[in-house]
Amino acid sequence: MDEIKLTNSEKIVMEILWEKEKVFLKDILESYPDPKPATTTVATVLKRMQNKDLVGFKLFGNSREYFPKVAKGEYFNDEMTSMIDRFFNSSVTQFASFFTSNSKLSQKQLKELRDIIDQQIKK
C-alpha cells in the first residue's frame, strides 16, 4: 500500500472511526472535540477520505454508515516508518539509540524493551 497521509482533520475522523468501527455522520459530529465543525465540513473530509480509499460506507436509506478501510496498526506502522526515514536516515538503530538516550526511561522500562527485543530475536 502507498504511504498513508492524513491531514489533522482526517486524523480526528479516523480516530473516531477506529474507536467506533461503524458510525453515521451525526455520531462523528457528536464525538468530535469542541469546537465542533459544521456538518458540511465533516462531510467534505469524509468524501476526501473516500477518494483516498481510507473510508468506506454502507447506505441505509439516505444515511451512510461509515467505516475505516485502514487499520490503526497499519497507519501507525506507516507513520513510524516515515518518521524513521525522515529523521534517522531509515536507520532503526539510530532511532533506538535516540529514543533510549533521550526519553528518560527507567531501568525497568529499558529491561522490558530488552526483553521484547530478545523475544523477537528468538522468533
The answer as to whether 75 is a domain residue is no
Clarify whether residues 19 and 56 are in a common domain: yes
The pairing of beta strand 63-68 with beta strand 23-24: antiparallel
Clarify whether residues 14 and 55 are in a common domain: yes
pLDDT of residue 2: 59
Q: Greatest CA separation found in the chain? A: 57
The domain total for the chain is: 2
The answer as to whether 2 is a domain residue is no
Clarify whether residues 62 and 95 are in a common domain: no
pLDDT of residue 55: 94
22: three-class secondary structure by DSSP: coil
Clarify whether residues 58 and 95 are in a common domain: no
Clarify whether residues 22 and 53 are in a common domain: yes
CATH number at residue 51: 1.10.10.10
Clarify whether residues 110 and 59 are in a common domain: no
pLDDT of residue 3: 66
Query: What is the span of the domain harbouring residue 107?
Result: 91-123
Mean pLDDT by 10 residues, the chain (123 residues): 76 93 93 88 93 92 92 84 83 81 80 83 84
Clarify whether residues 17 and 51 are in a common domain: yes
The answer as to whether 48 is a domain residue is yes
